């Protein structure tokens, strides 16, 4: 870990950054730092490369603007209300040499800076959002977050990530159809034909851990591959049929709206074993599978009023 590498690079980095920020804070009102920041970055998820290119100050501002999103995904960042978990993070950061001046259990600016420094040192995504990857790298003993393995694991067990948010289909449709390239014509039997330009610009082929290649939207392809692998490996459920992008109406019915499968943001697992409209899917024997998919932002159709046990769709509003 970062305190065992001899030269404590990140601590120096942390100290310098803290000094600069303290000057900045002194110049402004104490809380104003978060406000222009939130507007500047609007909480949008930046690529790892984009983050690495940010100045230290901008990185901290980004982390603050992103914190509500981080917390809403059951991870931990600035303003997190779970004082017990924040305390565990602070203790581990302090052990590694960070000088945290935030009150115990309060995730404020110095905890954030220390977290970013530790993430940088560990060579993982440095965004001040303490998720499974950080917990594993820093061996933070938070219950419900797995500290084993180097992979970015979701929070598993005890239904930690289960959330049954309705209305995602409409939101996704709005986001997808706002694309200038978007248009379609009706096809046969509830299918539609998407404008090839939209298809080329938005859909990608991704290889899954089981060797299959599937078509998904660019924005969710990596998330799906990761979620599916983790869900399968952890739960022991290995669906052999994985159906992804099919441009069509809901239930193949031309009088209904467009299915999220159209945009490559929805997936069906083993339709025969997990039939539509029944609460009897084989998948129900593997709650951990559903939970882990949820952790990665994939909503389960089995939670709907009319259950669709085979179906998961990405909550695009979380991006
Ligand atoms: Zn489906």
Ligand 1: distance of its center to the CA of 204 in Å? 18
pLDDT value of position 121: 85
What pLDDT score was predicted for residue 41? Answer: 65
Tell me what pLDDT residue 173 has: 85
In which band, very low, low, confident or very high, does the pLDDT at 137 lie, cut at 50, 70 and 90?
confident
Domain boundaries, the chain: 12-138, 168-318
CA of 310 to the centre of ligand 1 (A): 6
How many Å separate Cα 107 from the centre of its chain?
20
Mean pLDDT computed over 24-34: 43
Cα 258 to middle of ligand 1, angstroms? 11
Which of 30-39, 93-102, 239-248 is the most confident on average? 239-248
How far, in Å, from the CA of 182 to the mean position of ligand 1? 21
> How far away, in angstroms, is 244 Cα from ligand 1 center?
8
Q: How confident is the model at residue 165 (pLDDT cuts 50, 70, 90)?
A: low
Residue 163, both tokens: 């959330």
Residue 123 exposure: Cα atoms within 13 Å on the Cβ side: 4
Mean pLDDT of 138-152: 56
Summarised one tens digit per residue, pLDDT across range 249-308 is 999 999 999 999 999 999 999 999 999 999 999 999 988 899 889 888 888 999 888 999
Given this model, what pLDDT does residue 68 score? Answer: 82
Task: Report the separation in Å between the CA atom of 266 and the middle of ligand 1, taken as the mean of its atom positions.
Answer: 6
Q: What is the mean pLDDT of residues 197-218?
A: 95
Does residue 302 or residue 122 have the better pLDDT?
302
pLDDT at residue 164, as a whole number: 61
Question: How far is 237 from 257, CA to CA, in rounded Å?
Answer: 31
Give the residue-averaged pLDDT of 163-170. 64
User: Ligand 1 centroid vs 284 CA: distance in angstroms?
Assistant: 16
The span from the first CA to the last CA of the chain, in angstroms, equals 30
Cα 11 to averaged position of ligand 1 atoms, centre (Å) = 49
Distance in Å, CA 23 to ligand 1 centroid: 53
298/124: higher pLDDT:
298
Separation between Cα atoms, residue 229 and residue 127, nearest integer Å: 24
For domain 12-138, the CATH superfamily is PGBD-like superfamily/PGBD (1.10.101.10)
Taking the centre of ligand 1 as the mean of its atom positions, its distance from the CA of residue 74, in whole angstroms, is 26
Residue in this structure with the two tokens 């409209």, named with its chain if needed: 277
Three-state DSSP state, 48: helix
Domains 12-138 and 168-318 share a fold: no
How high is the pLDDT of residue 168? 67
* CA 206 / ligand 1 centre spacing (Å): 18
Ligand 1 centre distance from Cα of residue 154 (Å): 23
Q: Report which of residues 312 and 140 the model is more confident about.
A: 312
d(CA 248, CA 192): 5
Q: How far is the CA of 241 from the centre of ligand 1 (A)?
A: 12
Residue 132 CA, ligand 1 centroid: distance in Å: 29
Which position has the higher pLDDT, 12 or 125?
125
With a CB cutoff of 8 Å and minimum separation 6, the contacts of 105 are 83, 84, 86, 87, 90
Assign a CATH topology to domain 168-318.
Muramoyl-pentapeptide Carboxypeptidase; domain 2 (3.30.1380)
Q: How many A from CA of 308 to the centre of ligand 1?
A: 7
């Amino acid at each position: 870990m970062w305190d065992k590498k001899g030269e404590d690079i990140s601590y120096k980095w942390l100290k310098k950054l803290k000094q600069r920020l303290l000057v900045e804070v002194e110049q402004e009102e104490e809380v104003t730092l978060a406000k222009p920041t939130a507007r500047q970055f609007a909480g949008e998820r930046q690529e790892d490369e984009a983050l690495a290119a940010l100045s230290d100050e901008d990185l901290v501002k980004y982390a603050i603007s992103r914190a509500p999103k981080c917390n809403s995904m059951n991870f931990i960042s600035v303003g997190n209300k779970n004082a017990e978990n924040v305390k565990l993070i602070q203790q581990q950061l302090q052990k590694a040499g960070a000088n945290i001046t935030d009150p115990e259990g309060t995730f404020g600016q110095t905890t954030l800076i220390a977290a970013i420094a530790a993430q940088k040192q560990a060579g993982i995504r440095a965004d001040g959002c303490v998720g499974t990857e950080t917990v594993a790298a820093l061996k933070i003993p938070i219950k419900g977050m797995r500290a084993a393995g180097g992979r970015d694991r979701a929070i598993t067990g005890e239904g930690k990530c289960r959330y049954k948010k309705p209305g995602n289909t409409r939101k996704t449709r709005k986001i997808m159809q706002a694309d200038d390239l978007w248009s379609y014509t009706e096809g046969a039997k509830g299918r539609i034909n998407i404008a090839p330009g939209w298809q080329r610009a938005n859909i990608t082929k991704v290889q899954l851990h089981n060797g299959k290649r599937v078509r998904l939207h660019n924005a969710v392809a990596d998330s799906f591959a990761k979620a599916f692998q983790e869900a399968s490996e952890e739960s022991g459920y290995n669906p052999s049929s994985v159906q992804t992008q099919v441009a069509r109406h809901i239930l193949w019915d031309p009088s209904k709206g467009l299915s999220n499968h159209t945009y490559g943001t929805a997936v069906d697992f083993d339709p025969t074993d997990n039939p539509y409209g029944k609460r009897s899917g084989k998948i129900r024997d593997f709650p951990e599978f559903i939970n882990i998919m949820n952790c990665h932002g994939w909503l389960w159709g089995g939670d709907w009023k009319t259950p669709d046990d085979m179906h998961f769709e990405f909550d695009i509003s979380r991006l």
